[in-house]
Every structure is written in C-alpha cells, then in structure tokens.
Structure 1
Amino acid sequence: MNSFIKGIDHIQFAAPAGTEEQARQFYGELLGLEEIPKPKNLIGRGGCWFRCGLQEVHIGIQQDFIPAKKAHPGFSVDALDELKTRLEQAGYVISEEPPIDGRSRFFTHDPFGNRIEFLEFHSE
C-alpha cells in the first residue's frame, strides 16, 4: 500500500492563554527560530508560529492547558553542547540521555512544561 503521508508540515505545542511573549522568548530568541505571521483567519485564536527548516512550529493557546510530559518532538540541531549551555544559562533543566544510533541528545521542557528533545548527528 502506498503511504498518503509526504512529510510533516508542522508540529503544535499547546500553551496557556497569554503566554505568547514567553513563547517568542523561548522559541524565537533562545532557540533562534524565525517567527512567521499567522494566517489572518487564525490570529484571533492567539498563539504564534515559527519556521523550523522546511517545517513550522505552532504554539497554540489552550484554555484547559496541560503540558505534554511524555509526547515530544525531536529537533535535529548543530552544536548540541552550545545549545545545552545556552538553555542551562537561561535556567532550563537539562536531562541527559544516552546517545542513540550515532546521535547525541538531551531533553528539556519549554516554559510551559512541554517536553522537547534535541539531537545532533555524528559523522562516522
């Protein structure tokens, strides 16, 4: 059977109401993602969007917000150690994990408690 799926367009994190500036600080300033405009018909819902390579990261406002503690995206990065230091200096807790399949990695949480994994591939 052929897959109907071609790839991933975006991922969405939920966040509590009124936290767009925290999202911009974390995803935009700290992680370096470019904020992109939301479509006009979705602006009234709150939240903000960012470009992540060819994909997007959407921060959506959820009134009955509960952070994702297990489910998470895995972001492929360059300079994993530098990112880890940057996050630690900003006060984020890092959870070290053993490498998998040629990738070093660690976990942290965004300002809203959503789990995030960062991985760096090693050339062999």
Structure 2
Amino acid sequence: MIVAVDHVQLAAPPGAEGELRAFYVGVLGMTEVPKPPTLAARGGCWFRAGAVQLHLGVEDNFRGAGKAHPGLRVVGIEAYAELLAARGATVTWDAELPGHRRFYSCDPVGNRLEFLEPVPG
C-alpha cells in the first residue's frame, strides 16, 4: 500500500551541480541533503524543504522536462512568487486549475516546476 511520495527525481546534465545548488538553495530556499557516498560518486544533488525532497540525478543525454514536473504546494504563493522573481527565476502564472493559485518556473537546466496553493473557500 502506497502511503506517501518519498521524493521526486529530476534529471540534469553532467557538471550542473553548482547551478542546481544556486537555484534550489539560493532561489527556492531548500536545504541540500548529503547523498550517501556510494550515490554521491554518480554526481547530482538532493534537496529538501520540510517533508518535500527533490533529487537531481545526472543523465548523459539530458533534455529538460518541458511537460512533466513536480507540483510543489506552497503557503503564501504571491509572496513566494515575488521572492523567486526577485532572485531571478521566471514566474509564469496559470489560472486553469480551479480552486488553486499556481505558477510555473524552470530550474537552470530546464526542468519545469509547478508551485500551487489552494484558494480558501
């Protein structure tokens, strides 16, 4: 029986770890999680915010995910969008999901990220 999502893995090109750290820590405000040594040798990096974990793994013939994406629930979406934009991230609002405010952004290697917050009432 599935009870929760443990993490979401996204791909990244070899050598992109510095850019990813700058974005996921410096822009999104996540914390880097050390990878176990046996996995660290493969490259990539892991991040956490509360119970949410995103793993970025190295893929040789990398192509950014343009449609597939994690949906990250946030609190205070307007302020969070302003913070991301002030830190240089793209913020593209979308009003197509009833009962939610949401926007999309992309990490520095082209992975699509969705940020959403339920609308009260």
Same fold flag (TM > 0.5): yes
Alpha-carbon distance in 2 for matches of 1:11, 1:43: 17
TM-score (norm 1): 0.89
Alpha-carbon distance in 2 for matches of 1:19, 1:118: 23
Answer whether contact 2:42 2:58 (CA < 8 A) is retained.
Answer: yes
User: What displacement does 1:89 show?
Assistant: 2.5
Where structure 2 has 5 or more consecutive residues not aligned to the other structure, the ranges are none
Answer whether contact 2:27 2:89 (CA < 8 A) is retained.
Answer: no
Partner AA of 1:61 in structure 2: V
Correspondent of 2:62 among 65, 81, 104: 65
Partner AA of 1:107 in structure 2: Y
Match of 1:45 in 2: 42
Count of aligned pairs: 121
The answer on 1:17 being equivalent to 2:17 is: no
Match of 1:54 in 2: 51
Percent identity for Structure 1 against Structure 2: 42
Answer whether contact 2:9 2:55 (CA < 8 A) is retained.
Answer: yes
Deviant stretches of 4+, over 4 Å: none
Alpha-carbon distance in 1 for matches of 2:66, 2:22: 21
Indicate the RMSD between aligned Cα atoms, in angstroms: 1.4
